[in-house]
Structure 1
């Protein structure tokens, strides 16, 4: 994926990535850390927001002002319906 990130600059990064919110980054530098993420439920009326299973994402940046814990890349849609836009997740490092 050809993007510029805080953690890796303009180096190519994998497609399944995430950026961490202020809440998560408060505990220290998360650059390059891997998290396993699973969709728990949706936050709106979209039917069947979760596809099941889990994915592993690499933290590549800090998302200033994000209200959630992780902002997932589009390629992370394996766990959720992209129409749902925002989902409740369970995650661990």
Structure 2
């Protein structure tokens, strides 16, 4: 293999390794309690909520003028006060926009979704999230 071909192969491999190392975005999450309707995405429709009530409301940075509705995120607890993380991940569907100003977290998770990754219901946790 000539020098140019080796260089191309090495560059390709570097790009592939870099892609494997990209894990996701970092933010914060809190829980929010019922009533969950009406939502900014689908009002009072009950069919907007996924099985297990694993859903979330997002802050301005993720809302994207409503394009976030229906978007799915995989969340993982990284840290927080008093070691709240259970480990593992949870998949949530965006059903709402955080109506509080300022929004207390990047993502507000339903109580059921939050309980899957955090031991403390009232904690604010640091999360990693991917689409």
TM-score (norm 1): 0.84
Unaligned runs of 5+ in 1: none
Count, aligned residues:
90
Q: Distance in 2 between matches of 1:21 and 1:82?
A: 21
- Which of 5, 16, 21 is the equivalent residue of 2:59? 21
Contact 2:69 2:95 in 1 (8 A): yes
- Which of 65, 74, 82 is the equivalent residue of 2:111? 74
- Which of 45, 57, 63 is the equivalent residue of 1:11? 45
**CA deviation after TM superposition for structure 1 residue 68, in Å:** 2.1
Superposition misfits of 4+ residues, deviation over 4 angstroms: none
Give the helix-richer structure, 1 or 2.
2
Q: Distance in 1 between matches of 2:44 and 2:65?
A: 25
1:55 matched to 2:109? The reply is: no
Cα-Cα RMSD:
2.1
The 1:41/1:84 distance shift into structure 2, 3 A limit, reads farther
Unaligned runs of 5+ in 2: 1-33
